[in-house]
Structure 1
Amino acid sequence: MDFTAIDFETANSSRSSACALGLVEVTAGRISAEHVWLIDPQQRFDGMNISIHGITPSMVHGKPTFAELWPTIEPLLKGRVVVAHNAAFDMSVLRYCLDGETLAYPEFQYLCTYILGKKMLLDLPSHKLNVVSQHFGIALRHHDALDDARACAAIMLKLMEQEGQWDPLLLAASRGYQSGKMYAGGYTPFSVPKKPKKKRAVKELPSAASRSVTG
Structure 2
Amino acid sequence: MSQTWGQPATQAVNGWAVVDVETSGFRPGAARVLSVAVLALDADGRIEQSVASLLNPGVDPGPTHIHGLTAEMLEDQPTFAEIAGDIAGLLAGRTLVAHNAGFDYSFLTAEAELAGAELPIDRVMCTVELARRLDLGLDNVKLETLVRNWDLTQSHPHDAFDDALVLSKVLRPLLDRAAERDVWLPVRPVGRRRWPNGRVTHDELRPLKALAARLPCRYRNPGRYSGGLARGMRVALSAECSRTHEELLERLLDVGLAYADAVDPQTSLVVCNDATPAQGKGLTARTLGVPVLSDEAFMAGVRHLAGGADGGAEPPVDADEGQFTLF
TM-score of the two chains, using structure 1 as the length reference: 0.79
8 Å CA contact 2:22–2:67 kept in 1: the answer is yes
The correspondence for 2:34, drawn from 2, 5, 19, is: 19
Partner of 1:154: 169
Query: Hey, what's the Cα distance between the residues in 1 that align with 2:91 and 2:139?
Result: 32
Tell me what 1:38 maps to: 54
Q: Which residue of structure 2 lines up, in the alignment, with residue 168 of structure 1?
A: none
Correspondence for 1:196 among 258, 261, 266: 258
Which of 185, 188, 192 is the aligned partner of 1:179?
188
Look up the SS of the partner of 2:158 in the other structure. Answer: coil
Task: Report the Cα distance in structure 2 between the residues aligned to 1:84 and 1:148, rounded to whole angstroms.
Answer: 10
Partner in structure 1 of residue 141 of structure 2: 127
CA deviation digits over 1:153-211, x for unaligned, max 9? Answer: 1121111122446xxxxx9x94373424243444263853355147949xxxxxxxxxx
Q: How does 1:60-209 map to 2 (within 5 A)?
A: 60-140=74-154, 141-164=156-179, 174-175=183-184, 177-184=186-193, 185-187=201-203, 189=205, 191=208, 192=246, 193=250, 195-197=257-259, 200=266
Name the CA shift for 1:121/1:133 in 2 (closer, same or farther; >3 Å): farther
Q: Is the 8 A contact 1:105 1:182 kept in 2?
A: no
**Residues 176/149 of structure 1: CA separation in 2 closer, same or farther (3 Å cut):** closer
Q: Give the match for residue 68 of structure 2.
A: 54
| Other-structure match for 2:21 | 8
Shift of 1:108: 2.4
Identity of aligned residues (%): 24
Residue 109 of structure 1 and its aligned partner are, at CA, apart by 0.9
How far apart, in 2, do the equivalents of 1:11 and 1:188 lie? Answer: 20
Asked if structure 2 preserves the Cα contact closer than 8 Å seen for 1:12 and 1:44, the reply is no
TM superposition shift of 1:122: 4.1
Instruction: Tell me the C-alpha RMSD between the 2 structures.
Output: 2.6
Segments of structure 2 that go 5 or more residues without pairing to the other structure are: 1-12, 194-200, 209-245, 268-327
Structure 1 Cα separation of the partners of residues 150 and 191 of structure 2:
30
CA contact (8 A) 2:88 2:118 kept: no
Q: RCO (CA 8 Å, sep 6+): is it higher in 1 or 2?
A: 1
Q: Map Cα deviations across residues 114-164 of structure 1 (whole Å, 9 max, x no partner).
A: 111111144111111111111112211211111111111112111112244
Q: Distance in 2 between matches of 1:127 and 1:3?
A: 20
Write the deviation string for residues 96-124 of structure 1: whole angstroms up to 9, x where unpaired. Answer: 11222233342321101111111114411
